[in-house]
Amino acid sequence: MKRFIGFVQKEFYHIFRDRRSLFILFGMPVAQIMLFGFAITNEINNVDIAILDRSQDASTKEIISKISSSEYFSILQHIKEEAEIEEVFKKGKVKAVLYFEKEFSKKLIKQHTAKVQIVTDATDPNVANTISNYINSILSHYQEEQNRAITLDYQIVPQSRMVFNAELKSVYMFIPGVMTVILMLVSAMMTSISITREKELGTMEILLVSPLNPFQVIIGKVFPYIFLSIINAAAIVILSIFVFHVPVNGSLFLLGLESVLFIVTSLALGILISTISATQQTAMMISLMGLMLPVILLSGFIFPISSMPVPLQVISNIVPAKWFIIIVKGIMLKGVGISIVWKETLVLLGMTLLFIGLSVRKYKIRLE
Amino acid sequence: MSIRIDHISKSYGKVNALDDISIQVDPGELFGLIGPDGAGKTTLFRILTTLLLPDHGSASVAGYDIIADFKAIRKQVGYMPGRFSLYQDLTVEENLRFFATIFGTTIAENYDLIRDIYVQIEPFKNRRAGKLSGGMKQKLALSCALIHKPKVLFLDEPTTGVDPVSRKEFWEMLKRLQAKGITILVSTPYMDEAALCDRIALIQDGRILEIDTPKAIVEHYPKPIFDVGAHNTYLLIEKLNAYVHKHSVFPFGEYIHYTDQRDGFDPLELRAYLKNEGLQNIHIERTKATIEDTFMELAKQ
């Protein structure tokens, strides 16, 4: 036990004396969560649009004022000719042009149909889509107001309700993902680097020629990272609750337990990586390429798994992060308990045992 | 027997790092492995410290088999690898304390053993190991290797890259440790250090050339050996090498060590030859063979 404490103490010296690892441990999580929470967002706000109004009558003026008074759009300029549409898009600021045909009001009253074209800059298809939807809904809202007096014979009134994230805040989606990425990064990359560093500097040679058995060395190496990762996980949850107002609807205790499980999974992966790489550089490359990319791309963090091609959907099953994200979303947003996420938990547990088993088998008690 | 090496062979791919090596080291002996870089010294150390498995042969350290009882050996030996292998970001004291802890002891418990060495670096005990000078690093590494009172000490090229004064001090320390009953196996590429060992093994290309006391090895040198000097050393080497009767020529300090093929060699004859070749201030004197001469002679065969 004394040996173990001595070893862990040494590990903490390493961590706290290396600015680079300190930054990865504590700077990175905060930076990432702030980046994803504030900067990267799918919501639209104050989008600049242009108006091409060939009628300039009561109806169009009313629609335009409705649009400009919404928080989503601000009208940057009015243009006169169709030819100018492409021009304003090329300048880059204007993301959409609203084009009212001639005699809009008159047609609306006499023929019951008037046309307005929504032209969007689709270089960013998601944003274009969202803008078009927002404008559509403002237009139909206007139409509804006008038709209030008239009763139609048949009418379908769709009422959509978004549950678990009624305001469609993208931070709800990012928090579980960012938490996963950070725990994976800290646990797997930092342990694999710290173990390979001993190999690279030759100190592993001395540790091997000592009464410490490999198991003690490994546990001593990962223990500080378990501790630091738990602090990180807690910090992320606190940030998400108090800064981004993401609720934790389920049990905080269960969330904690699941996080510890995922941390252990990542640590086991880190140990496995260290057994196959000889230098810190290799360990870092394998961790970044082999872990970070799948975690970001294949875990359902950013891109929904259901819309991936089938082979990728199958591959996504072996990414531990996928299961953890399902668990975190379930607990934080849906407020579910272990009775719902037990399957995912079992998968993670199985993976962890597999990784630990593999690393024990691959771990060398000698130099070669 | 403190270390018994029995027909050990080890190869890396096609390279024979060790070829049928057998050495026996008595308890309390200071034994030197002398040979150039790449001779296989480090490989032998790693096999004895249970870090590598031999391809053939067997060995035991402090009575334990290096394969079956590797765990027991790891408790009994102190090992100082050729490369400085301590934690550079830990201070002198933290390094020492760490190694004491993992061997289940404390600095205080074995302070007697390391006192002579450690007092010299104690003033810098709060300095990071990475910021120490070469000689101090080596003293720290030795302290760390000794802190658990090992029965056998393995020192792989401990004095490489260390200044002459520190080297001398280091060998004095080894003598004192030997007096405390620790068996020491030390390797070095420096022939002058060989004379300080009880016995030495000359090793080259993974083969043992000879094992004996330094004195006996020198006495076994088969030929009379001469110090030759002149005003122009470069020209002298050239002319000696061109001399038809020469057996060996190699520079040694300020002189050239020369041996002749013939049994009844007359130095006056060589003097005449050199004078004829335009060399001045010629000096020829019979000298004693050194370990280096023996090594060169054996390596030639």
Render pLDDT for A115-125 as a digit per residue (tens, 0 to 9).
899 999 988 88
Residue A41: per-residue pLDDT: 63
Residue A40: per-residue pLDDT: 65
The minimum CA-CA distance between B54 and chain A, rounded to whole Å, is 11
Tell me which chain A residue has its CA closest to the CA of residue B71: A211
Asked whether the beta carbons of residue B101 and residue A208 sit closer than 8 angstroms, the reply is no
Residues of A in contact with B144 (CB under 8 A): 206
The domain boundary residue, chosen from B167, B188, B218: B218
Residue B105: per-residue pLDDT: 92
SS3 of residue A121 by DSSP: coil
The domain boundary residue, chosen from B194, B218, B242: B218
Cα B67 from Cα B48, distance rounded (Å)? 9
Residue A151: per-residue pLDDT: 67
Residue A161: per-residue pLDDT: 80
Residue B94: per-residue pLDDT: 95
Asked whether the beta carbons of residue B51 and residue A210 sit closer than 8 angstroms, the reply is no
Which range has the worst mean pLDDT, A261-275, A351-365, B86-100? Answer: A351-365
Residues of chain B with pLDDT under 70: none
Residue B289: per-residue pLDDT: 87
What average pLDDT is seen over chain B? 91
pLDDT tens, residue by residue, A78-120: 998 888 888 888 888 898 999 998 888 888 888 888 889 999 9
Cα B246 from Cα B254, distance rounded (Å)? 19
pLDDT tens, residue by residue, A181-220: 888 888 898 899 999 999 898 899 999 999 888 788 888 9
At residue A171, does pLDDT exceed 80?
no
Total structural domains within chain A: 2
Q: Does A66 touch chain B (CB under 8 A)?
A: no
- Please give the radius of gyration of chain B, using alpha carbons only, rounded to the nearest integer: 22
In this structure, what CATH number is given to the domain that contains residue B237? 3.30.70
For the segment A156-180, the average pLDDT, to the nearest whole number, is: 79
Residues of A in contact with B97 (CB under 8 A): 6
In this structure, what CATH number is given to the domain that contains residue A112? 3.40.1710.10
Cα B301 from Cα B299, distance rounded (Å)? 5
Indicate the pTM of the whole model.
0.80
Q: Are residues B179 and B241 in the same domain?
A: no
pLDDT tens, residue by residue, B241-266: 999 899 999 888 889 999 998 888 88
Residue B146: per-residue pLDDT: 92
Greater model confidence, B87 or A290: B87
Q: Does A365 touch chain B (CB under 8 A)?
A: yes
Residues of A in contact with B84 (CB under 8 A): 202
Supply the ipTM of this predicted assembly. Answer: 0.84
Q: Are residues A130 and A234 in the same domain?
A: no
Asked whether the beta carbons of residue A209 and residue B49 sit closer than 8 angstroms, the reply is yes
| Residue B60 CA, distance from chain mean position | 21
The minimum CA-CA distance between B71 and chain A, rounded to whole Å, is 7
Q: Categorize the per-residue pLDDT at A42 as very low, low, confident or very high, splitting at 50, 70 and 90.
A: low
The domain boundary residue, chosen from B190, B218, B246: B218
At residue A162, does pLDDT exceed 80?
no
Contacts of A55 (CB under 8 A, 6+ apart): A100, A101, A102, A103, A104, A105
Q: Are residues B213 and B283 in the same domain?
A: no
Residue A216: per-residue pLDDT: 84
Q: Are residues A57 and A95 in the same domain?
A: yes
Q: Are residues A227 and A122 in the same domain?
A: no
SS3 of residue A219 by DSSP: helix
Asked whether the beta carbons of residue B89 and residue A14 sit closer than 8 angstroms, the reply is yes
Q: Does A203 touch chain B (CB under 8 A)?
A: yes
Asked whether the beta carbons of residue B75 and residue A211 sit closer than 8 angstroms, the reply is yes
Q: Which of A6, A202, A206 sits opposite B101 (nearest CB)?
A: A6
Cα A286 from Cα A292, distance rounded (Å)? 9
Mutate to test the interface with B, among A210, A280, A368 (most CBs of B within 10 A): A210
The label of the residue with tokens 């790693």 reads B46
Q: Are residues B265 and B197 in the same domain?
A: no
In this structure, what CATH number is given to the domain that contains residue B9? 3.40.50.300
SS3 of residue B16 by DSSP: strand
Q: Are residues B256 and B214 in the same domain?
A: no
B11: nearest Cα among B73, B53, B58, B62: B53
Total structural domains within chain B: 2
At residue A148, does pLDDT exceed 80?
no
Q: Does residue A162 lie within any of the structural domains?
A: no
Q: Are residues B51 and B125 in the same domain?
A: yes
Q: Does residue A368 lie within any of the structural domains?
A: no
Residue A247: per-residue pLDDT: 85
Q: Which of B86, B103, B104 sits opposite A203 (nearest CB)?
A: B86
Q: Does residue A346 lie within any of the structural domains?
A: yes
Tell me which chain B residue has its CA closest to the CA of residue A8: B98
What average pLDDT is seen over chain A? 87
Residue B160: per-residue pLDDT: 85
The minimum CA-CA distance between B96 and chain A, rounded to whole Å, is 11
Q: Does A304 touch chain B (CB under 8 A)?
A: no
Residue B62: per-residue pLDDT: 93
Q: Are residues B111 and B203 in the same domain?
A: yes
Tell me which chain B residue has its CA closest to the CA of residue A220: B102
The domain of B49 spans 3-218
Residues of A in contact with B44 (CB under 8 A): none
For the segment A46-69, the average pLDDT, to the nearest whole number, is: 89
Q: Are residues B86 and B212 in the same domain?
A: yes
Asked whether the beta carbons of residue A210 and residue B50 sit closer than 8 angstroms, the reply is no
* Cβ-count burial A28-44 (b if 16+ within 10 Å, e if not): ebeebbeebbeeeeeeb
B189: nearest Cα among B39, B78, B51: B39
Which range has the worst mean pLDDT, A47-51, A361-365, B10-14? Answer: A361-365
Q: How many CB atoms lie within 10 A of CB A212?
A: 19
Q: Does A219 touch chain B (CB under 8 A)?
A: no
Q: Does residue A6 lie within any of the structural domains?
A: yes
Q: Are residues B182 and B256 in the same domain?
A: no
Cα A300 from Cα A302, distance rounded (Å)? 6
Cα A173 from Cα A246, distance rounded (Å)? 10
Q: Are residues A173 and A137 in the same domain?
A: no
Q: Are residues A279 and A208 in the same domain?
A: yes
The minimum CA-CA distance between B89 and chain A, rounded to whole Å, is 7
Q: Are residues B279 and B144 in the same domain?
A: no
Q: Are residues A186 and A270 in the same domain?
A: yes
Q: Are residues B160 and B94 in the same domain?
A: yes
| Residue B281 CA, distance from chain mean position | 36
Cα B209 from Cα B292, distance rounded (Å)? 13
Residues of B in contact with A202 (CB under 8 A): 81, 83-85
Residue B69: per-residue pLDDT: 93
The domain of A84 spans 47-146
Residues of B in contact with A9 (CB under 8 A): 98
Which burial class, exposed, middle or buried, applies to B166 when counting CB atoms under 10 A from its CB (0-12, 13-18, 19+)? middle
The torsion region of residue B62 among left (phi > 0), alpha (psi -120 to 50) and beta comes to left
Q: Are residues B201 and B263 in the same domain?
A: no
Q: Are residues A344 and A232 in the same domain?
A: yes
Q: Does A202 touch chain B (CB under 8 A)?
A: yes
